Homo-oligomer: A and B are copies of this chain.
């Protein structure tokens, strides 16, 4: 079954150069959600998106303030007999450091060799924006969308979506839908799209070790006062076994045995060790013995120290015993692991290993359970057909090593499954310097999204998935202005 919307696709092809110019406009906003100094940029980006949503045809658009960064919301509801799709994306981006490693400035959005370079180009502005261009193509050619659409564009994804659950809870009745689609994941390769079947969970922490009240002279006191950096290193060094596994007692108790997962799956299209190392631009594998790199990065948990800091970090050296040292660390959690339990295990571990000569504080940033997606859901089938239209091949089904908390949130609060229909590549340098997005995938992504809307309409007709949708405007008339 192929459902092509020739008019909309033709419109997209014709307007592609302008679409790319507009994409550059979105990428140029330094909407770094984790850095308070960029709060105004995050807001400007939100307002730009809202204004753009109005321009392309959404009549109900609003920037919802939250306790943190705003949610941009837009809806186009035509009939309660049609299914309703939530389209989620995030317009906030990661920090840019180390800045010196960027070939072109992260917020200039340079286009070269068929790629757009910039922080957020792939994660997630490029992938969010191609949905908008699919909507525009439909609006421009048919004046309406094939299904009811509710756009939720968040500004806090990169900092754990802190305020999204409250927003969803507050508006749960108005946000009823049949499924959500999120484009924030990678394809297997440039010509092989992929649908995600599972996500790792996440748990992010900060450990601070405190020693002397003030920094001390290491000539005067070296040898008599425990150094917080040393204590921190000793604690962190005990978190892994020499074989690459995590040494925190009890950590693997809840992890689903891989033999069960392996047995259930026949999908042969998974990246090889060589491909994963190539994507990482390294030749040296590491990690838990007995598992492939694909398994280590998707089906097995991992612990990463994301940052460490303490004492003097300037040029040369300073003879100091610092008063404190800090590390940021994050777990990726495998199927069946409960992040709350992992937090408890980590606390217990630290209490067991911390020396009596220092103080240790643990701060929790985020706790996200792992997620699995039902391959048989009609929206998953619609996405598979849409990829076929947009890329000419069927998608493969992959486990993802990443964590997308919104998948859990949408399931638990709105009760809807999420289709992870990504257009990024492993080589896109998400979270790293020189992030980019392939304009080829931008184009094919727009066609795929146009097709997805039509397939959702058809599939829904067959499977009566639309039962939960409703036509009542989610945004009361009086609150429509931004």
Contact = CB atoms under 8 A, between A and B. Distances in A.
Interface of A: 34-36, 94-95, 97-98, 101, 158-160, 186, 200, 202, 204, 206, 211-227, 229-230, 232-234, 236-240, 276-277, 279-282, 284-288, 293, 296-297, 300-322, 325-328, 330, 332, 356-358, 365-366, 400-403, 426, 429-434
A110 B333 CA distance: 54
Contacts of A237: 230, 233-234, 236-238
A109 to B, nearest CB: 20
Contacts of A158: 318
A393 to B, nearest CB: 22
9 contacts: A160-B317, A202-B219, A224-B277, A230-B305, A233-B236, A236-B237, A237-B237, A313-B326, A320-B432
Contact of A307 (B302, B313, B326, B366): B313
Contacts of A365: 316-317
B281 A213 contact: yes
Contact of A306 (B35, B94, B218): B218
Q: For the complex formed by this chain, how many copies does it contain in all?
A: 2
Contacts of A328: 311-313, 317-318
B286 A225 contact: yes
A186 to B, nearest CB: 8
Contacts of A429: 214
Nearest to A321: B304
A471 B430 CA distance: 72
Contacts of A282: 211-213, 225
A281 B316 CA distance: 27
Given A234-B237, A282-B212, A308-B308, A221 B401 contact: yes
B311 A306 contact: yes
Nearest to A229: B305
A317 B280 contact: no
Q: Top 10 closest A-B pairs, CB basis?
A: A223-B302, A219-B402, A237-B237, A307-B311, A222-B302, A226-B286, A223-B296, A307-B312, A218-B304, A233-B233
A315 B212 contact: no
Contacts of A321: 304, 306
A221 to B, nearest CB: 5
